[in-house]
Structures are given as C-alpha cells and as structure tokens.
Amino acid sequence: MRQNWQHWNRKAIAALCILIIIGIIAALPVSATRWKTERSSKQVDIVFDYRDLLQISAYKTHPQQFIQQELGKMKAAGISSMAVFETSLQELKWAGRISLYGSDTLSDLQGKPLSADENFTYLLFNSKQDEESLSPIIADTFKSWDISTSPFSFKGSNGLVLETPVEDAMLKTMQPDPVTVQMLHDAGFRIVPRLSDRIPYDAASVDKLLDSYQAIGVTRILFDGNAVKGYGDNAEKKSLTSFGDSLDKHGIGIATIENSKPQQGMNSLAYLTHYNVARLYSLSERDAAALKPIDIADRFQLAVKDRSIRMFYINAAPASNSAKSSITDPLENIYNSLQGEDGFLAKLDKLGYTAGPAEKFDYSSPSWQKPLKALVALGAIAFIALLIQAFLPGVGAAIPVFIIGLIGSAGLYVLSKSVFEQGLALGAAISAPTLAMVWAIRRVRTHTIGNRRPVGGGDHGVASRTDGGQFRWIFPGITAGRRFTMAIAIFATTSVISLCGIPFVVGLLNNITYKLVLEQFRGVSMLHLVPIALTALYVFLYTGDSVIGNIRKLLKMQITVLWVVVVAFVGVAAMYYLSRTGNEGSASSIELTFRNFLETTFGVRPRTKEFLLSHPLFFAGLFLALRYRAAWVLFIVGSIGQLSMVDTFAHIHTPLPISLIRVLLGLVLGALIGIVLIGVWQVLEGVWKRWSPRFVKTKQSLKSGA
C-alpha cells in the first residue's frame, strides 16, 4: 500500500512539474501586455511650485520684476508647468494682489481710536482688475464659513471687511487665483492645479472650475493635503463619484506622489478616471539647495528609467546665508541640473523620452487573459506543493498538498481577488529560489556522500560516514577542473530554476494598480527571509543521516559562548539585511557614488548584494563544497542572490527590460567574481600544500632539539 502511494506520489511530482511549465508558458503573453503598457507613456513633465517662487520673491527688492525674470529663465531651462495651489489671503498678499490690515493697524493708518470690541480683517485690492476677479471668490469663500463680509474703501482703493481676525482669515482656502492662472498660461506654462478637500464640495462650482481648466489645456490635477477633493463629503454627497465623472468628462487626469502617504480616496478616484494617473517625484527644498546639479539630474534620470515616474515636482525655498550675509535661493542650481550635456533634459533625450505633458499608460485587460491567468495560478499552486513535498520526502505529500492548495486558493479568490493573486505570487516567488537551492544541495550531496532514498518516515543513508564511523568533512577524488565545470553547471541550472518564479510574479500581478503603486505587493519581507531560512534548514537538517537524528544532535549540543556570539552576529546581520531591502533602505555617500559608477558604466545598475556578495560566494561555494563539507554553509548566502533575482521583478513599477538586464548583469558579474575567488583559493591551497609539510617538519625538529 505504501509503495503504491509513493509510486503515485512520484507521478504527481512529475505532473506538478508539467503544470509549472504550462504556467510559465501561459504567463508569457500576459507579460507581453505589460511590456506594451510600459512603452505607451513616453512624455515627462517638469513642474515648479509657483507658491515657492512667490515666497522667494518676497525677499527681493522688486518682487514682481523678479517673478517675471525667473519665469523666463524657467521656461528657457525646460520647466514647462506651474503648480498653482488653492489660494489664500497670504498668497495673494505675497503676489501683490491685495493689502491686509487688522483693526489695530487700520486704526493707526486712519488716525482714529481703535474700537474696544473689534478684531476684523480689512482687505484692499491693489487694482481694479484684482477687485473684479478676486472679490466674488473671497466673498463666496467666507460666506461658506459663515463669516460676514461687507464693502470697504480707503483713500480711493476698494476692498472688503471680513469679520474675523487676520490670523483666522489667512487660513481660509479659496479656489486657485484665476488671474495668476491666466498669467502663467499666457507666459507659456501648462497649469497643474493643486486642489484640496478643505473647501466644501459643490458639484456645480467644481464642474465650472474644470470647464475653465479644460479651456486652457489642463490635463492633470495634483492634490494638496491628506485627501483628494470630495473625499470628506463622499458619504453624504457621493462627491468622489461626481468629481471622478467630471474629471473623466473633461479629460483631466490625476497624479500620485511617490514615497508619500497615500492620499485618502486616491484609489477610488483613479478607478473612476479609468486610471488616468501619473506618478510624480517631488524634489524637496533641501535637496534642491544641497544636491549638486549632476546629482539632481542623475536622480531624475533613474526615476524615469527605473520607477516609471512621468512628473517631476520641484520645490524651492529662500534661506538665510550668514556666510554671504544675504537671503539665497536654489533656483540657479535647479536650472543647471536641467540644462547642459549632463543635464536632465539631455539624459531624457538619450533614454528616448521627450518633455511634455505626462500621458496615461495605455492599459487594457483583454478577455483572453483570464484563462491564461488561471493556468498561471494553477502553476503557482503546483510550485508551492513541490516546495512542501521537498521538505516531506518520505511522506508523499504532493497530492494532498496540491488538493488543499486548490481548495484554499478558490476560497481566497472568493474573499479577495487581490489577496489571491498576491498570495500565489508570493508563494511561487518563495518556492522557486528555495527549490533551486534544494536541488543544488542535492546535486552536491550526490557527487560527494552519495544519494539518499527516503525509507519509511525518515531519510537514511550511511554514505555520509567513513568506515570508522567518523563524520566525513573532506571528499577526495574529484579533480579541480572537474569541480569547476560541475560548479558552472550547477550554478547555471540553479539560477534557471530560480528564474522560473519570475513569470508567476509578472503574470499574476499584471495590473495597472501595481504599476502605478496604487496597490503594493505585500509580503515582500517574507520573500527576503523565508528562502534563506528554508535553505539553512535544509543544509543543517536534511544533509545528514536523518532529519530526526540531526534534530536530536542539535538539541543535545552544548551552548557555548561561541554559539551565543554566532547567533548574535547572525541576528545583527539579518536586521541589517532587512534594513537594506525595499524602498526604505538607506545608503551611505560612498555607496551612492559606487551606484552612480555602476549606472554610468553599464546603463543599468545590478543589485550589489547579488553580484558582489551572493552570486560570487555561491559559485565559489559550489566549487569548494564538492571537496569540503564545511563550504555547504555558503549555500545559505547563495540563497540571497537567488531570491533577489525574483524580488527584482516584484518591483512592478520598474520596466521589465530594466529588471531583466539587472538580473543578467548580476549573474554574469557575480560568476566572474566567483571565478576570481576560486583562483585565489587554488593559489592559497597550493601554497598551503607546499609549505605546511615543511612547517610541520621544522616544528618537530625544534621539539626534538629541545
């Protein structure tokens, strides 16, 4: 009975392998649609924050003249769009559109006694045009806050009385200043309005506002604050749906800001606008002033090429410079980063992109993708079943695990399609590199201490011991040349098995929401750790006489100070490793310089942990492991590079060709460095073999002489 079950289990394993191959083939056309999507948006927009320009101008002798001069410089430098916020009395004052007075200040100007119980805001328009364009907007805004307004004039200038203190009045948000918008449009800039959810939503006024934006060519809106416009009133007014429909009707898209907390309502609005979304990178005021022009240009170039960024938002701020005894600004530094042979615009042209309004990615989900994705999902379940079977070789778990996987996946699909896709993608991403390492360990074991055949519930075999019953640490008999060719074959095959996990990640997560980072592939930390842990488990428990025997030996081992130090070192290394993974990882200035060198040299930067650490040590480790058992521990380090190759494609915002080149570069460079390590080892081993007998003989002679 047991033999029959093992027979059927072996057939099931073969069937699971066939399902994996079918899943890989099914993922290819799905991946092709993503490739096409990635090539559909080739324009990049450079946006400057107009409010920052107003702030800088407030420290200049002639603010308005300064603004006009800098607008000309910005246009010449390649800045093509201006971000215009919903305005405020403070911003209108900076722009020279109005003058503001409190009750006490006005009393001094008028030479009249201050009213004992009055703390109002007095506003004067600085021109007739300002009065005509701004008076209705200001009056409507303060009316919505139940603040009374009334006409006011002083020395021939008209204005308004706002029955609230100046400090409160300056906090009230109004729609973007139409005169400023028109002025910037006439100067040749595209307008990127920054709307907030601070103004109560009114469908008619919003539709009218979007009409005016459509008339001047606005194609994209950016939000200000922690929520999109209409989010706060959505429960009562269904304002998100109304706003999304209005944006779609006017052909206006939205933008998401990279590495910032997602704005509430963004996913819903993206769906309502049919994912007319562009990803935006924001250059902070600090970086605009502190970074060198070439560093800014390189940062922008990487964002376009590696992270599908299509909008760049430039901030700037005035700063007090005691060394120069003046107020300085980073505007010249920004212009230099965009222009010249090493400027961003030149780099953009070399990449095949052009400056222009950011376009949406042309995304479609044809009906034929559904059955193909089902096959990909089936292959992912098979991959996970094979991984579990590898750690239960004597149980024959392939059939029941696969059936349980099918039932569980069906339940997940009913509960959440997103969790279903991400769960299977994560399972396949973990399974591929882990199974690759298990295969590599088994191949090395076969060529050194012999095959193992599962009997009963455990793994048995006496080939790992010498005739004297002592544990074998050195495996003689295989020449260095033979070990080298075997290491090449095992390294290449292991990498191919690991790469088989990539089509499942790409095929299952082929959705525009991941491309735009509206939704993220969760559980990546597990991908960074689980294959390493499972490889270590296999090395220590599955390469001896039996799993149970190895467990008993570990439990009986005495805990020494050395073991405590080793565990502490491993823990620190694991924490450092995790801190360097993902988008939150930081890098030193030396490492950033090295990264820029790699980027400049190869065009695409290979991952450092792959080509400098894991791949070389794994390749050299294979060569050594065929002779020295202690070298098997290097398989654990090797698992880092294998999982990293799959993890590279988990960064879905990175174009597929870039990820593919990055992985292949890592493999080639890692193998070359591994060959160097093998050569160094052979030299050192030769020196040791030649001189160690002489050393021993000399030592013995000294003892006998004594």
What pLDDT was estimated at residue 564? 67
Residue 510 in contact with residue 409, Cβ under 8 Å?
Answer: no
What pLDDT was estimated at residue 705? 58
What pLDDT was estimated at residue 397? 82
CB contact burial 538-562 (16+ within 10 A = b; e otherwise): bbbbbbbbbbeebeeeeeeeeeeee
Residue 152 in contact with residue 122, Cβ under 8 Å?
Answer: yes
How far apart CA 201 and CA 194 sit, in angstroms, is 15
What pLDDT was estimated at residue 460? 38
What pLDDT was estimated at residue 464? 42
How far apart CA 203 and CA 245 sit, in angstroms, is 11
How far apart CA 86 and CA 172 sit, in angstroms, is 10
> CA dist 255 to 238, 263, 266, 455, Å?
21, 11, 9, 61
Please report, in angstroms and rounded to a whole number, the separation of the first and last CA atoms in the chain: 72
Per-residue H/E/C for 331-363: HHHHHHHHCCCCCHHHHHHHCCCEECCCCCCCC
Mean pLDDT for back-to-back runs of 10 residues, the chain (706 residues): 74 94 96 92 96 92 93 96 92 86 82 77 90 90 89 89 92 87 95 91 91 95 94 92 95 94 93 95 95 93 94 94 85 96 94 94 89 96 95 83 94 93 96 97 90 41 42 83 96 97 96 92 87 94 77 73 67 62 55 69 84 94 94 94 95 93 95 96 87 66 60
Q: Structural domain boundaries of the chain? A: 2-38+364-692, 43-86+178-355, 88-174
Q: Label the pairing between strands 253-257 and 277-283.
A: parallel
pTM of the model: 0.85
Residue 523 in contact with residue 517, Cβ under 8 Å?
Answer: no
What DSSP designation does 652 have?
A: T
CB contact burial 277-307 (16+ within 10 A = b; e otherwise): bbbbbbbebeebbebebbebbbbbbbbbbbb
Per-residue H/E/C for 8-67: HHHHHHHHHHHHHHHHHHHHHHHHHHHHHHHCCCCEEEEEEEHHHHHHHHCCCCCHHHHH
What pLDDT was estimated at residue 584? 47
Residue at token pair 């390492």: 437
Burial (Cβ within 10 Å: 0-12, 13-18, ≥19) of residue 496: exposed
Beta bridge partners of 460: 453
- Tell me how crowded residue 309 is: count the other CB atoms within 10 A of its CB: 19
CATH for 43-86+178-355 (1.10.10, 3.20.20, 3.90.550, 2.60.40): 3.20.20
E-strand spans in 284-395?
A: 311-314, 319-321, 326-328, 354-355
Residue 42 in contact with residue 354, Cβ under 8 Å?
Answer: yes
